[in-house]
Structure 1
Amino acid sequence: MRIKLEGYVHLARMLDKCRAVLAGTEGEYIYPCPMDERLLEFAGITSEQFTAAVNTNPADAGVAAWFRQTATPHPTAELEKWNEKLLARGPSSPESLKKFKKYRDAVDPSRTDLTAWSDLQDLEEGRGVPQRQVVA
């Protein structure tokens, strides 16, 4: 999720998930998920448009070029602020928090310091996640 494509965090991950859905190999991954929808909304693109572009562009470069031409342009500072906000985003409802805790506890119940979906994804997929300071 942290890897940038065309300056956007999550775009490369969303591209991989979309390809997996098109191939029928997505397993537990969900496309479009709420994070995907947030990115697409910020870019001014629908999931249907993105899926069609991925379906017709076999290479990352082709999708990246399409995205660059199609997405609503944003100044660099605005894009960076949006990237930081997306990476810091945590559960937004009691139901979402319950799901977050369930996923976290299945991987490492001791990591009660985690509050962001991006950190939970990293933990779940075996990438190191630094300890966060717990705010009371």
Structure 2
Amino acid sequence: MNNITDLTQRPPRSMRTRLGGYALLPRMLDKGRAEIAGKNGEYHYNCPLDQRILEYLGVDAEALRKELAAGKGDGEILEWIRSNQKNKHTDAEIEAWSDAAGKRVPEGESIEFFNEIRTATAPHRSDITTWADLLDVDDYVTFGGKA
């Protein structure tokens, strides 16, 4: 299987990376492939972040996991999603959703969790304000970078 992502050696793609215009999608695919291969490290497929895009697409996590397990590449997965998604969106809607996903800030109960991770990862970085910022710096620090 040549699509294995070893997340014990490097992080998944940034949630800002897009596939078919969708933010979050490449990251979720990396985590799914790694989990199937037993190389997911601390990353989890179908986490709450993944569930956001799965809900937006109207795609079942387990059905998508089966496609990943079949060894399909990103282009094949995107084609499968477009054929199987319950929620169809225009390119403009996808772009707006992806832009909003990249700017999402913690709210409600997630603020404390966000701040715990930021404090542990980058305590002196007040510029870390969105989930995308936090995931990027957390991934970087997890694999030896300095915040």
Moved over 4 A (4+): none
Identify the match of residue 124 of structure 2 among 86, 110, 118: 110
How big is the alpha-carbon RMSD for the aligned residues of Structure 1 and Structure 2?
1.7
Return the letter of the residue paired with 2:138.
Answer: E
Deviation of 1:44 after TM superposition, in Å, equals 0.7
Deviation of 1:120 after TM superposition, in Å, equals 0.6
1:28 aligns with 2:42: yes
Identify the match of residue 42 of structure 1 among 56, 73, 77: 56
Identify the match of residue 74 of structure 1 among 89, 100, 119: 89
| C-alpha contact 1:57 1:63 (8 A) present in aligned 2 | no
Return the letter of the residue paired with 2:118.
Answer: R
Deviation of 1:125 after TM superposition, in Å, equals 2.4
Runs (5+) with no aligned partner, structure 1: 128-136
For 1:1-136, list aligned pairs within 5 A: 1-71=15-85, 72-94=87-109, 96-126=110-140
Deviation of 1:100 after TM superposition, in Å, equals 1.1
Identity of matched residues, %: 39
Q: What do residues 44-97 of structure 1 show as CA deviations (whole Å, max 9, x unaligned)?
A: 111111111111233222212212222232111111111111111122333x22
| C-alpha contact 1:4 1:10 (8 A) present in aligned 2 | yes
Structure 1 Cα separation of the partners of residues 112 and 38 of structure 2: 28
Runs (5+) with no aligned partner, structure 2: 1-14, 142-147
SS at match of 1:125: helix
| C-alpha contact 1:90 1:116 (8 A) present in aligned 2 | yes
Structure 1 Cα separation of the partners of residues 75 and 93 of structure 2: 24
Aligned length in residues: 126
Structure 1 Cα separation of the partners of residues 91 and 117 of structure 2: 33
Deviation of 1:112 after TM superposition, in Å, equals 2.5
Deviation of 1:12 after TM superposition, in Å, equals 0.6
| C-alpha contact 1:88 1:116 (8 A) present in aligned 2 | yes
Structure 1 Cα separation of the partners of residues 75 and 97 of structure 2: 23
Structure 2 Cα separation of the partners of residues 58 and 50 of structure 1: 10
- 1:133 alignment counterpart: none
TM-score by length of 1: 0.83
